[in-house]
Amino acid sequence: MIVAERKPMAEILEMVKDCSKVLVLACRGCVTVCSAGGEREAAALASLIRLGMKKQGKTIQVIEGSLVRQCDKEYIDAIDTWDGQYDAIVSTACGVGVNFIANLRKTTMVYPALNTTFFGGSAEQGIWTEQCAGCGNCVLHLTGGLCPVARCAKSLMNGPCGGSVGGRCEINKQTECIWQSIYDRLGSFGRGSQMETIAPIRDWSTAGHGGPRKTVRDDLTIS
Amino acid sequence: MSFEPKITLFSCHYASQQSCAEKGKELQQLGFPTTITLVRVPCTGKVQVTTLLQAFEDGADGVYVVGCPVESCHNVKGSVRAAKKVTAVKKALEELDVESGRIEMFHLPRGLHPEFVAAGVTMDKKIRTLGPSPFQS
Q: What is the pLDDT of residues B2-58, one digit of tens each?
A: 899 999 999 998 887 766 655 667 788 888 999 999 999 999 999 999 999 999 999
pLDDT for res B111? 76
A40 and A113 in a common domain: yes
At A63-72, the pLDDT tens digits run 999 999 999 9
ipTM above 0.90, yes or no: yes
DSSP state of A201: P
Residue A179: inside a domain: yes
Same domain, A84 and A173: no
Q: B137 and A54: CB-CB below 8 Å?
A: yes
Would an 8 Å CB–CB cutoff place B2 in contact with chain A? no
Beta carbon pairs, A and B, within 8 Å: 38
Task: Kindly determine whether residue A44 and residue B134, on different chains, have CB atoms separated by under 8 Å.
Answer: no
Flag whether residue A61 sits within 8 Å of chain B, measured between CB atoms.
no
On whether both A179 and A96 belong to a single domain, the answer is no
Are residues A168 and A103 located together in one domain of the fold? no
Burial class (CB in 10 A: 0-12, 13-18, 19+), A193: exposed
Q: Are residues A148 and A186 in the same domain?
A: yes
Inside any domain, residue A218? no
Q: Is residue B1 part of a domain?
A: no
Closest to A9 (Cβ–Cβ): which among B49, B56, B92?
B92
Q: Do A49 and A141 share a domain, yes or no?
A: no
CATH code of B116's domain: 3.40.50
Residue-level pLDDT at B18: 63
- In A, minimum Cα distance to B53 occurs at A47
Query: Looking at the 3D structure of chain A, how many domains does it have?
Result: 2
Report yes or no on B136 lying in a domain: no
Contact assessment for residue B79 and residue B68, using Cβ atoms and an 8 Å cutoff:
yes
Out of A118, A141, A156, pick the residue that ends a domain. A118
Shared domain check, A73 and A45: yes
Q: Give the structural domain span for A50.
A: 2-118
Q: Which residues face B36 on adjacent strands?
A: B7
In the prediction, which pLDDT does B5 show?
97
Please indicate, yes or no, whether residues A37 and A111 belong to a single structural domain of this protein: yes
Nearest to A77 by CA among A104, A115, A55: A104
The parts of chain A modelled with pLDDT lower than 50 are: none
Average pLDDT, rounded, for chain B: 91
In Å, how far is A48's CA from the nearest CA of chain B?
Answer: 7
